[in-house]
Structure 1
């Protein structure tokens, strides 16, 4: 393992690798994970470093140490996965957002009305000087920040939403209660790096790898009324899409004749 050019402690980098392996089913639940000595040799580090990484995993409830038997992945470790499959339709997205809401807790950072930033105005198709309602929230999973969510809303929808509402409800529920109808959703997933603001709220170093999800929600009457920009810690987030073949929509290749 490269020990240079990283502000993150070595034991924490090993912890994130082991955590990803556990969550992705790398270690069978009925067999012990490699011993401290085996892991130390594999990563090329000291047993003390491995011990620190394993302690974090144990504190999170991802592994259990059994005296005389070894360390085992816990049965409920897979519950830490919020990467449920999402089919490519609005109902599938709503189900996913509901799952995230039930699995995490919310902290409201701010809510205010201001002028739409230029890039947000372009994405929403509104005037650069248009007023929008902006809210910032952090979702926590297992006592640690999971995502930083920034919502931009048209005033006719956002003005009806109070801070108390934001602390207890999914935004998608709040906008529908405010009178919006979700007829279309456009989303883009990209990789990015944490700036000082994101680093502060996600408790990661500046420059840490993040995943950015931008979703634009469209109402046939209102147009683009809500844009969500969500930043996820890259080591805690995986997004899946299940694609289904629609009946009668088979793609048939042309019969190409060679001369």
Structure 2
């Protein structure tokens, strides 16, 4: 891993990965975590970098460190409702993407290589002049445009993707076939308006409302390798979330 060209310090990226593992139960409460030396070798960084990441986890009471014994996930980590509420299962997202792929049809607009928009370069932690592989596709449902997706991939992943594959295989399957491991995904959803490009491909007027979903995919070394922007027609897309009360948990009302 390298801090070069990344907007986020290396130790903080490693902290984020370790925090996700703790919250998701990858490291169980009361069980010793890998040593600093083992983590340093796994992430290919210095022990000082690992130590700084562990200091943040300790400050958040997610781990306890004992000289001579090691670092252990705290019992409090498994009971932290806030942490659990903001973390979702990556596999759940992958299952959703596969389900969407099976119920829609893909049309390839382009597959090329070039300089990405500055916001994408910043997300991927690369130089603004670095070239990325870009794939643009329109997804159709019942013979009508449903979404416009723009994928930006690091060349070591994207160079192996063929145009003919893009018509029938989901991008997440293609990147995994190219050797990428999806360990962590960050997703942001925002409302936006259609520009002339989105309007053309989605067959809507310029300025029509859209839902934009930005996804950033990280590998096991906490390095982002794939950024996706998906624009959904507001009249054809619905985001539904089912929330359940945890057994034995009640809502607490507080005066303010």
- Give your verdict on TM over 0.5: yes
Q: Secondary structure at the match of 1:172?
A: helix
- In the aligned structure 2, how far is the partner of 1:128 from the partner of 1:203? 31
Larger Rg: 1
Aligned length: 168
Q: Secondary structure at the match of 1:150?
A: strand
The answer to whether the Cα contact below 8 Å between 1:88 and 1:241 also exists between their aligned partners in 2 is: no
1:23 corresponds in structure 2 to: none
The change in CA–CA distance for 1:240 and 1:116 in structure 2 (over 3 A counts) is: same
- In the aligned structure 2, how far is the partner of 1:238 from the partner of 1:153? 27
2:218 corresponds in structure 1 to: 218
Q: Secondary structure at the match of 1:100?
A: helix
Higher mean C-alpha displacement, 164-173 vs 218-227: 218-227
1:121 corresponds in structure 2 to: 121
Shift in Å, 1:246: 7.7
2:94 corresponds in structure 1 to: 94
TM-score norm. by structure 1 comes to 0.60
2:233 corresponds in structure 1 to: 233
RMSD over equivalenced CA pairs, Å: 2.4
The change in CA–CA distance for 1:220 and 1:193 in structure 2 (over 3 A counts) is: same
Shift in Å, 1:151: 0.1
Shift in Å, 1:235: 1.1
The answer to whether the Cα contact below 8 Å between 2:218 and 2:225 also exists between their aligned partners in 1 is: yes
Unpaired runs of 5+ residues, structure 2, are 1-86
The answer to whether the Cα contact below 8 Å between 2:115 and 2:132 also exists between their aligned partners in 1 is: yes
1:158 corresponds in structure 2 to: 158
The change in CA–CA distance for 1:251 and 1:151 in structure 2 (over 3 A counts) is: farther
- In the aligned structure 2, how far is the partner of 1:247 from the partner of 1:194? 43
1:45 corresponds in structure 2 to: none
1:143-186: CA deviation from partner (whole Å, max 9, x where unpaired): 10000000000000000100001011000000000000000000
The change in CA–CA distance for 1:246 and 1:89 in structure 2 (over 3 A counts) is: farther
1:169-216: CA deviation from partner (whole Å, max 9, x where unpaired): 000000000000000000000000000000000000010000000000
The answer to whether the Cα contact below 8 Å between 2:148 and 2:231 also exists between their aligned partners in 1 is: yes
2:109 corresponds in structure 1 to: 109
The answer to whether the Cα contact below 8 Å between 1:88 and 1:243 also exists between their aligned partners in 2 is: no
Shift in Å, 1:98: 1.0
1:207 corresponds in structure 2 to: 207
Shift in Å, 1:251: 10
The answer to whether the Cα contact below 8 Å between 2:136 and 2:148 also exists between their aligned partners in 1 is: yes
